Each structure stands twice: as structure tokens, then as C-alpha cells.
Amino acid sequence: MDYRHICVDTSIGPVGAVISDVDLSDPLSDDVTSELHRAWLDHKILFFHDQEALTPATQAAFGERFGKLDVYPFMHAVDGHPNVIPIIKEPDATVNFGGGWHTDTSYVEKPPKATILHAVEVPTSGGETLFADAGRAYEDLSEGMRTWLEGLIGIYSPRAVHGRDGAYTKLKAASGDLGGSYGGSENFAESEVEHPIIRTHEETGHKSIYGGRAHVWSFKGWARDESKPILKFLTDHLTQDQYVTTFKWRKGSVAMWDNRCVFHYALNNYPGERRHMHRVIVQGARPG
């Protein structure tokens, strides 16, 4: 693929590309934005280093080049920047945010197509994020499995993570570990929405595994206990080494991933150290 305005290096792993020659804190020209968009659709995740000049305002402005920004329902935003949330793990915390395989906020009617994460402060080692190519993982399934999965609708809900008995709710009550910014409406945390388990990307036309263990409560018409082993199989399948890229953050790094075809997992392997990120999400379409 030819790019005139950006450098695209795909040697990082099975999914994603490292982009250089771009300063994201500067307003981006239409030409640069359109090349970044093309590279993002081709490689599913764009990684950037040395973006220390990025502020909450310029991170939001960068996100807005790709669509309308959304408000994340379970975290209070950075002061004055309603679309930018802090993701912080303090040195004495034992639990981290995003420490399980998931796609962001898939339990809302129109889940975000993009997430843009900026590393404000990183531990001296560890704190990597793993990214899995759910599109290639889908293509490698047998024809029989693909056909069967395509008939399944998921009941997507924040309940298992953020609900009354959810994992984060219990952890916050026990330790306060998720930080002062974590919160949200209890009613919304128990809400449900229907989306397909296999999603067709509305820009590329490619199919991908979309439903995972974190946010699919059950398949429509199935019991949760019946659904869980299949959801586990899908997550185990798509997180095999051949689909996964490990991103090592530096202070100032940025990752922009496509939630329609990528799962991610924030490693919790830096005890005693602080990690501080800023995140924005860009609104997407209803999955089809």
C-alpha cells in the first residue's frame, strides 16, 4: 500500500502498524487524516510513539477527525473534557481497568468504532496491552462453525462487569482499587441490548467475531450457563498467539484500535508502579 504522508511499519506483530512522521497534537490535514484512516482500516490498530505533546484537548480533536466522540458511562471524565477519561492504576492498587479480553462498550446500542488511548505515565516495565485480530480468527474457523455462529444473537450487557454483582463493582467495594473516577448508573449497568455475535464491518465488509465473554451475557434464547462455554471457546480461539500483538507503551505512545474487529487486554504486571492513560472513544454504528 502506498502512503505519501505517513510511514507505516507492520513488523510489530500479526495485527496493527506503527505509524511515524505524524504529530497528533497538530491539527491534521485532510490528506494525512485520510491516509491514517486507510491505514487503520487495513491494519486495525495504529500505534504511535513520541506523542508527549498531546493534551486532553488535542487528543479529543484528533478523535473528532474520525467521528463524533462518545461519553463513557462508567468513568468520570477529566475536568473540562467530557469525552476524555483517565485510566489510572496507583502503585498500591492490585486490580486494573481493562484486564480481561473485550471490545469497548459493546453493550450500548451504537458501540464505539474506535478507541484512542494515550500513555501519560507508564511503569518502568510491564503495563503492555495485548490486541487480538478477531477478523482473522473468524476467517480461520471452519465453515460449519462460521455458519452456525452467524445465526446467533448476543444479549450484550455491562452486568457481568459493572452490574450490582459485577466483577468491578465487587472489587471497588472491597478495595477501592479502580480509583475515584470509576462509577456510573446502577440501572444502566443492568441494561441489555441485542447485537450479532459475528459482525460485518460496515466500512470494509469483512466479518469478525464480535461477541466475547466480558460483555455477552448469553445468546438470545439460550441460558447463560449454556452460552458461557461457547463464549469461552471464541475468546480462547481469537487470543491464540498467531492473532495477538503485544504493544509496549512508552510515555507519550498512542494506540487507536478498531473495536469492530479487535479485542484487547490490559496486562496487570507492574506491581508497585503507577500507570496513567487518557482514553477517548469515537461513536460507531449499530452492529450488523
Q: Which residues here bind ligand SIN, judged by CB under 6 A?
A: 87, 97-98, 104, 115, 117, 129, 264, 266, 277, 279
Nearest residue to the partner ligand SIN, using Cβ:
98
CB 238 within 8 A of CB 207: no
One-letter amino acid for residue 116 of the chain: I
User: To the nearest whole angstrom, how small is the minimum distance from the Cβ of residue 124 to ligand SIN?
Assistant: 16
Rounded to the nearest whole angstrom, what is the least distance from the CB of residue 97 to ligand SIN in the complex?
Answer: 6
CB nearer to ligand SIN: pick between 60 and 277? 277
Give the amino acid at 64: E
- Which residue, 198 or 254, has its beta carbon nearer to ligand SIN? 254
Q: Is the dihedral of CA 239, 240, 242, 245 positive or negative?
A: positive
Give the nearer residue to ligand SIN in terms of CB position, either 43 or 264: 264
Given a contact cutoff of 8 angstroms between Cβ atoms, the answer to whether 115 and 257 are in contact is yes
In whole angstroms, how close is the CB of 279 to ligand SIN at the nearest point?
6
Q: Which of helix, strand or coil describes residue 162?
A: helix
Q: How far is the CB of 182 from ligand SIN (least distance, A)?
A: 13
Q: State in angstroms the smallest separation of the CB of 255 from ligand SIN.
A: 8
Positive or negative: CA dihedral 143, 146, 148, 151: negative
Query: Nearer Cβ to ligand SIN, position 87 or 198?
Result: 87
CA-derived radius of gyration, the chain: 18
**Residue 29 has what DSSP assignment?**
P
User: Looking at beta carbons only, is 15 or 32 nearer to ligand SIN?
Assistant: 15
Output the smallest distance, CB 29 to ligand SIN, in A. Answer: 28
DSSP 228: H
> What percent helix, strand, coil does the chain show, rounded to 5?
25, 25, 50
Q: What is the DSSP letter of 274?
A: -
Query: Judged by CB, which is closer to ligand SIN: 6, or 69?
Result: 69
